[in-house]
Structure formats: C-alpha cells, structure tokens
Structure 1
C-alpha cells in the first residue's frame, strides 16, 4: 500500500535540495531547533544559521549526540545587531521607531533581527516560533517584509500528511473572521501552495451546510466568496458551501452533492474562520497522530514560517523544507 505521508516527505526533501538556500533560526538555543538543524543539514535541505550562544549550543549538541556540520553557522546575535540598525530605522522611521536607539532596542529581539536579515537578503528564509506566540512572529513580518506591499494580505495553511493522502487546510492560524473577499484570497493562495508542492488543487469551501441545504449569513458568505474566486481565477476547481464529510468522502458526496467535481475528492479545505480551522487541524493531528507541516505563511514577499510551540522535530524539518521551496 502506498504511504502518501512518507512519499510526500521524500518529495519535499528532494525539492528543497535542488538549490542551495540559507535559513535562519532565531531560537538557536532551543534543543528541538538544534536537532532539526542537524537533520536539515545532513539531508542537504538547507544551510542553517542558528542565532544563539555558541558555547551553549555546542554543549547541548555534545550532550545529546547531535552532529553540527560545516553547513551550520552559529552566530552570536549581539555581534551583528548593529549591522541592521540604520536599515530598520529607515524602514520604520516615524511609525514605531523614532531614533536609532529605539531601532537597536527592537533588534534585541532575535525574531526581528532574523527578519531584518531576510529583508536585506542575508538569508533566504526564517523559521521561528517554537518558543513564541504566533503574534510575535507575524507582527514584525508584516511590518518589515510586507512594508509598502500593494496587497499585504497573508494567510496560512497546514499540510496534513495522512497515510493515504495529503490535504491542505487553510486558514488555521492567521485570519480570525475572514469576509467573503478574504476567504477568496485564502482559497487562491492555498491552491497556489498546493500546486507548488505537486498537489492538484481541488478546493472545498467548508461550511456546516452542503449546497442549498441551509441558509444564513455564514452560508451566504461562503457562496459569495465562491463567486469572487470564479471571477478572479475561473480555471480553479472549487465548490461550496460544502461540509467536511462531503468534501473528502466519495460515498457521502454521491448522496449530498452528486454533481460536484470537488465533492468527495477535495485536496484543499478552506475553513470559514480561525476557530473552526485551528480546532480541526489540532484535533485531527492529535487524534490521527499524523505529521502536520505548518503553519505555512502565504502571500509574503519573502518566506517566513511560524512554528507551533508544540512542534516536533519532524515538523520543524519539513517546515524548513517548505520555507526553502517558497524561496525559489
């Protein structure tokens, strides 16, 4: 029997190793990060920069039998903060920074430092968040990477690696109550992410209702988002509103929505709000004991990805691989 989870991981590793990219990890003192970086380097997924205390990191590596090879660079963040003061000051002048001392103070946060490294092309991507809440990763990313962007809208997906399939869940981390236009953007961004990793996007706009079985403001929002998607990207295979079971089960789809080209074979599942999306991905991940890669951020000018604080080493490794792929 084909193992889709294993095959998809192999695919990500192969794709990430096609080009040499450097990813920075601002939480370099974290043991899971040290273990993950060792694996990424061994598998040639990326070159890695750990921001942290060199002596501490090397001692942790020795104590835990972790190999840190030549593709892993450990940088004391205090030694490089001043290199980014002028650029951060210019970027955020008269917004939330009014002098260079304030800029330097902001750069005492290794997450902001790493994002500035990405902004100035010193690295190709950032993977962070294993010790930080999502807001502390997203906020500086918006302020720095999306600064001046005409359409700064950002969403996220999780890649859910089941034994018999790989599904894309969006948006489970960023947008709390997306309106119809935002839902349409989430669907299109998620479909593009699916395509980038070899998954044919068949998009289901999820709801508590399937087709015309019910009505109400939340169902109308889904229906309106579908109209917007079809105007922006008419070639995209998408349907909704549709319930989760009808989206992934051919048997149930034949009963509830037999004429749909998406029902029963959806690969991209768009949740109506953050509540439903976040609860579902965590419930599925923990109950089915599967690997979930993400949240993978979409719509950014340069790749920054936010780790769940409960992320495993496996999650970190494959989130890093996705970050490399996004940098191509």
Structure 2
C-alpha cells in the first residue's frame, strides 16, 4: 500500500494563519503609500477595478478548465451583497480615510485589533458558542497589549482626534459582516464570495467617487504600483484567507490572529516610515503572541463520560469548504492532511 503524501493539516493551517497576518498587515502599510499619492477614495476605487479585472480573468480561466460554469443561485448570492458591503466597503473606506488623515498605519491597525474582544463578547449571545476561560484571558491580554501601544503612539500624534474613530467604524463593520455570514444559511465558495463582495463594493465606491469628483487617478508609477499591490495582497489574498480560516478555526480563534496584525504593522511601519517603536510596542507584541496562544490552543481532552450533554468544547464552528483549488477543481481536505 502506498503511503499518502501531503501537507499535514496543522502545518497547512499554521502557514495559512501566518500568511493571513502578513497579508492583512500589508493593507495598512500599502494604504499609507497609496494615500500619499491620491485621495483615499481614488486609491480604493481603482484598487477594486483591478480586483474586478483579476476576478474576471480567473472566471475565464476556470471556464477554460471546466467548460460550462455553474453559477450560485440568487438566494445564495443575495445575503452576501450586504455582507460584502460591511466586510469590504464599510471596512476599507474608514481605514483608508484614517490613514489619509494622518493616523499612523500602526495605530490604525492597533485600534482595529479591538475587534477580537468585541467578537468574543458577542459570540455567546448571538451564536450560542461557548468561549472558554483561557480564551477570555487571552483576549484580555491582547487588549492590554493593544492599549499599551495605542497610548504610546497617541502621545506623538498630530492627526485630528475624530480620525481615530474611523478605525472603530471599520472594525464594527467587519464584525457585523462576520456575524451576518455565520448566521446565514446561504453558503458560497470562497471564490464566489470574494467575487460577490468585490462586485458590490466596486459599484458603491464608483458611485461615491463619481459624486465626490475623485474618480480620476494620477498618472504616477508609485500610485499604480501601490494600487496593484493593494488589489492583490490585502484584497484577494487576505480576504480569501479570512473567510477560509473563519470556517476552519472559528470566530474567536481567527479574530485573535488580528492581535498579531497590530504589532506586525507597527514593526513594519517603524522600519519603513519611522513610526514610533518603543518598549510599549515590544510589550504589546509579546502580549499579542500570548493572547493568540491562549485563544487558539485546543481545550484539554476529557473522556466523553465527563462531558455533560450539550456542552461546548470549542468556539470553532467548522464548515466544510474546499481546502485548495487547482484549475477550478476542488482538492478535498483529506488530500491536504497526512
């Protein structure tokens, strides 16, 4: 009997988690570069034109590989129109406006990192999912780490005070999208979900840019390079990983990874833009790592006899989705696990 060769499931998830942190962090960094060349809305609308063109090419490639494509039913697409508006339009626009107003990329990410605590607070009453005591401890440690770094950064801030509320609006929008997606019975593949979200966001951004006179792009290499990178990494890669890991890890575990996005962005911002990196930043990084460890760590195994009927063992809500795709053909999860 031949031995099955593949990537261990845990290694695949660790790699996907690391890629998620880096790709999500890049959105804050590239946003600072892009908004230095053009208004935030101009950067965003052309970002989504590139995203739309990329997805159309992907659809054409899938049709070439598969032949006739089977499109999702309207009843499955309809809930994702509002989810897409919250997850992308309502999230990226406030983030870019904040960075464009002078809020540092690190601080924007750090304010956004409050999201995991908000999710864990709401996950029980809204979804009926149990959050363990160690996970609460991890979330509190992460919040303390974020608070330390934000406090240090605010002491040197020159941005308008109101600009710091924009990242709060962004995280509230993404939380709303996350809970709405978990409560809907409509299920789309990651590709179909990204395509739907990008399409509705592109329409909203185009209308807003047209009304505000910010649709025309500058003809500079830096603008187009940063816009292309924004379209590829934080939009396509990061959002695909977000929805994939949401299904595989669960809400609390996935959002705990956002605690690592904040210090990662702060470190990159310090290197590239000379943004402050102090002892508080380092402390926040350590606390963020501890928070993720506590939240993601699986519960201690117990015998089935010791578990009361109906008790919850984990916050994860697994949903079967394709692990990887190759030329439009789904590779089953057991091909990834050893």
TM-score category of the 2 structures, normalised to the smaller one: under 0.3
TM-score, length-normalised on structure 1? 0.23
Q: Which has the higher helix share?
A: 2
Larger RCO: 1 or 2 (CA < 8 Å, sep 6+): 2
Question: Structure 2 length as normaliser, TM-score?
Answer: 0.23
Which protein has the bigger strand share? Answer: 1
